[in-house]
Every structure is written in C-alpha cells, then in structure tokens.
Amino acid sequence: MKLIALCGSARKQGNTSTMLQQVIEGAKSVGAETEYVNLFDLHYTDCISCYACKLKDKKSFAHCTLNDELKPLLERIEKSDVIVLGSPVYYGNLSGQMRSFTDRLLFQYLDYGHMGKGPKPKSFKTALIATMNMDSDDCIKRGIKDSLLWFSEVIGHTLGSCELLTLTDTVLFDDYSKYVYQMPDKEEKSNRVEQISAEDLQKAFNLGVRLIKSVVPPKADQK
C-alpha cells in the first residue's frame, strides 16, 4: 500500500507540514510505503480548460495533457492507494497552490456524471487536512467548515472517498513581538509551549493508520 501526502503550504516546517508528517508516520507504522511532496517545489499551471482529458476514444482521455512538473506527480498518484492533501486556509479557502493542483487532479477524472463513477483508475482513499489561525467556533460561524466539508465531498465524489481533518487556532509566529498581530489571543499563543497539541498530532497519526487499514488489497489472480 502506498500513501502520498501533498503539502500546499510554502512553510516547509509549518503546521500543515507537521500534520502531514504525522499522517506519514501513522501510515508507516502499519507497513505502508509513503511519499511526501511540497507543491511549492514544483512549477506548474492551473487547469487551462483545454478539455483534452474529455475527448472520447483518445489517448488523452482521463489524463491531463499539460506537460509541466505536475505531470510525473499525477502519474505517481495514479499508482498510489491513499492521497492526503494538506493546506493552510487563506481567506476562507485552501492555498492557491493547492487549488491549482486539485483543479488538475480532479478535473481529469470528471465525466459530468452524478454517480461518482468517472474514469479514475481506481477508488482511492483520501483525506483533506486544513490548518487555520481562527478557532473552531469561528471556523463554523464564518462558514469555513461548511466550505471545507463541501470540497471534501467533491474530492470523495471524484476519487472514491475523503475524510476531513481540521487544525484550528494555530500558532503563526515563533516570536509574536516582531509582527503586527492585534488579535486578543496574542499573549496565549506567544506563551504556548506546544505549537500543535499532542491530541491533534495523535489525530493526524491515527488518520494515517486508519486510511491504510481501510484500503482493501486487490484479490490475487485466480488460476
């Protein structure tokens, strides 16, 4: 079994990356092969609506034909069993880098149907991890949670299934005194010993374990 984790944050050691690394550790603990990719290390464009992936009886059907640094990654994803996406939330949405990636990943398998049985090579197990500065109450009040749930449903509908894990109330800076930050939680976050709680890290680890265990191995060929 292979799990591939994709990070949509430019912070190489930030909250999103840390949560994804815990997912990887969980997957490794039950014997999975893993790969970690930071999308900011790749140069690629958004979907250009060329519709080559929609042409009937063509080699390009169900495959993005844009020839950039995302192409080999999309090929490796097709050979994986579990896909975990991680992104910070900026202005109520995933990062631009992640959205450009998901446009390319998902649209190639969209057949404009309603049953979620598009031309994907297999049914994947997937998860979306979203990290944000706001607390869980604000996440719900401002509709962010609903937006993330909706998008995780889109991912699940297209790829096979998707679980959402959110990390709220994150610590942004190592030293808050250096930055303009006027939120009322400044003192608490400045003095927080654990930037990510042990409970949240365990949730990410457990997610990795659970996703791998949920993959049904292919049956051996009957001879």
What was the pLDDT predicted at 116?
A: 59
Mean pLDDT of 94-117: 89
Residue 51 to residue 65: CA distance in whole angstroms: 9
Among the ranges given (35-44, 109-118, 154-163), the one the predictor scored with the smallest mean pLDDT: 109-118
Instruction: Find the domain containing 87 and state its range.
Output: 1-6+23-137+148-171
What was the pLDDT predicted at 98?
A: 98
Residue 98 to residue 7: CA distance in whole angstroms: 8
Mean pLDDT of 56-63: 92
Q: Are 82 and 30 in contact (CB under 8 A)?
A: no
Give per-residue burial for 164-184: e unless 16+ CB within 10 Å, then b.
Answer: bbbbbbbbeeeebeeeeeeee
Q: What is the mean pLDDT of the chain?
A: 93
56 is a domain residue: yes
> For residue range 62-103, what is the model confidence (pLDDT) as tens digits?
999 999 999 999 999 999 999 999 999 999 999 999 999 999
In this structure, what CATH number is given to the domain that contains residue 129? Answer: 3.40.50.360
152 is a domain residue: yes
Angle at 174 between CA 169 and CA 179, to 5 degrees: 85
179 is a domain residue: no
> For residue range 133-172, what is the model confidence (pLDDT) as tens digits?
999 999 999 999 999 999 999 999 999 899 999 999 999 9
Residue 209 region, left (φ>0) first, then alpha (ψ -120 to 50), else beta?
A: alpha
* 73 to 67, 105, 153, 176, 200: CA distances (angstroms): 11, 10, 23, 37, 28
114 is a domain residue: yes
Q: Where are the beta strands (DSSP E) in 55-188?
A: 82-90, 93-94, 125-131, 162-167
Which is higher by pLDDT, 18 or 116? 18
192 is a domain residue: no
124 is a domain residue: yes
Q: In total, how many domains does the chain have?
A: 1
